[in-house]
């Protein structure tokens, strides 16, 4: 494995006032639940995002596998965000950008996934519109069977789609969009342009964004265990929120421009 993908150090970068934050949600800002709809956002977490947005001139974006509408349900509408791993994105001016492709749920793939879920209680099919997710967090003993099914189904996906494994989930989505591309697009737009990208995430799908942040001279922070292209590490969503609270306090301090 190359040096860029070694185990991240158990540390975080020194604060700086010119960051742009790109934050995953499940497993990063919030603990992962056994069903996506069970996730609850504490009021203090919403307040923290607003506080960071205010102190960074709006240069904060939520980058998630969830659909954009679901991100809005959790954190409120209107803010910069990328849903379905970048297949849909809202810029800081409210402009919407999305993959111009036939949705997967119009194909036989959805029927195959629905049939598998019906035959395997405890698994879950999440239809996000531009992507599909097969969850098995409630039945971890089916991991091998789910993996074999997902790999077999990948061979019959429409052109331009592929399967991406995650934490007890397999995502069926477009090949040419990922979180890295979403970060790169944000970084070419105000208020992100000219800032230093800081990406925080916990799963395989965050690796594309980590690589972009590294390439742009920014910071990549892995949440939890496992090898990663990220250069830094935080242990848990609680640690992420605590660190972001400290960063918000740093931004509000009179001496911030003199700190390292």
Average pLDDT of span 135-156: 91
Of 24, 91, 178, 203, the active-site residue reads 24
Instruction: List pLDDT tens digits, range 208-244.
Output: 999 999 999 999 999 999 899 999 999 999 999 999 9
- Reply yes or no on whether 202 is catalytic: no
CA distance 55 to 50: 9
Say how many C-beta atoms besides its own lie within 10 A of residue 94's C-beta. Answer: 10
For residue 115, pLDDT beyond 60: yes
The CATH number of 104-174 is which of 3.30.230.10, 3.30.70.1020, 3.30.930.10, 3.40.50.720?
A: 3.30.70.1020
- Please report, for the chain, the start and end positions of each structural domain, with discontinuous segments joined by +: 8-99+177-258, 104-174
Q: pLDDT exceeding 70 applies to what percent of the chain?
A: 91
Query: Taking the alpha carbons of 61, 67, 68, 71 in that order, is the dihedral positive or negative?
Result: negative
Please give the C-alpha separations between residue 1 and each of 5, 6, 216, 217, 233, in angstroms, as whole numbers: 6, 7, 21, 21, 18
* DSSP strands (E only) in the chain: 19-23, 60-63, 81-83, 88-90, 96-98, 124-127, 132-135, 161-166, 169-174, 196-201, 219-223, 232-234
Q: How confident is the model at residue 207 (pLDDT cuts 50, 70, 90)?
A: very high
Looking at the domain 8-99+177-258, which fold is it?
Rossmann fold (3.40.50)
pLDDT band at 77 (very low <50, low <70, confident <90, very high): very high
What is the pLDDT confidence band of residue 259, given thresholds at 50, 70 and 90? very low
Strands of 196-201's sheet, edge to edge? Answer: 96-98, 88-90, 81-83, 60-63, 19-23, 196-201, 219-223, 232-234
Angstrom CA distances, 212 to 177, 178, 219, 251, stand at: 13, 11, 9, 24
* Per-residue pLDDT tens over the stretch 3-28: 445 555 668 999 999 999 999 999 99
- pLDDT for 30 beyond 50: yes
pTM over 0.85: no
Quick one: three-class SS letters along 8-27? Answer: CCCCCCCCCCCEEEEECCEC
């Amino acid at each position: 494995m190359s040096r860029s993908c070694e185990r991240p150090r158990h540390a975080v970068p020194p604060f700086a006032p010119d960051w742009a934050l790109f934050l995953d949600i499940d497993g990063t800002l919030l603990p992962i639940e056994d069903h996506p709809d069970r996730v609850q956002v504490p009021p203090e977490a919403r307040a923290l995002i607003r506080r960071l947005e205010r102190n960074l001139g709006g240069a904060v974006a939520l980058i998630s596998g969830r659909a954009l509408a679901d991100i809005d349900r959790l954190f409120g509408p209107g803010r910069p965000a990328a849903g379905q791993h970048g297949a849909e994105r809202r810029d800081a001016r409210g402009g919407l950008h999305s993959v111009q492709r036939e949705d997967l749920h119009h194909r036989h793939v959805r029927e195959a996934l629905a049939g598998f879920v019906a035959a395997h209680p405890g698994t879950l099919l999440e239809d996000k519109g531009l992507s599909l997710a097969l969850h098995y967090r409630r039945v971890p003993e089916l991991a091998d069977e789910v993996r074999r099914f997902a790999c077999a189904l990948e061979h019959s996906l429409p052109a331009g789609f592929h399967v991406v494994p995650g934490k007890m989930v397999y995502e069926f989505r477009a090949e040419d969009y990922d979180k890295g591309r979403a970060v790169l697009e944000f970084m070419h737009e105000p208020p992100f342009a000219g800032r230093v990208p800081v990406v925080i995430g916990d799963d395989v799908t965050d690796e594309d964004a980590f690589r972009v942040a590294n390439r742009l001279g920014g910071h990549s922070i892995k949440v939890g265990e496992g090898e990663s292209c990220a250069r830094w590490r935080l242990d848990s969503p609680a640690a992420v929120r605590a660190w972001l609270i400290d960063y918000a306090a740093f931004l509000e301090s009179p001496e911030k421009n003199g700190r390292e």
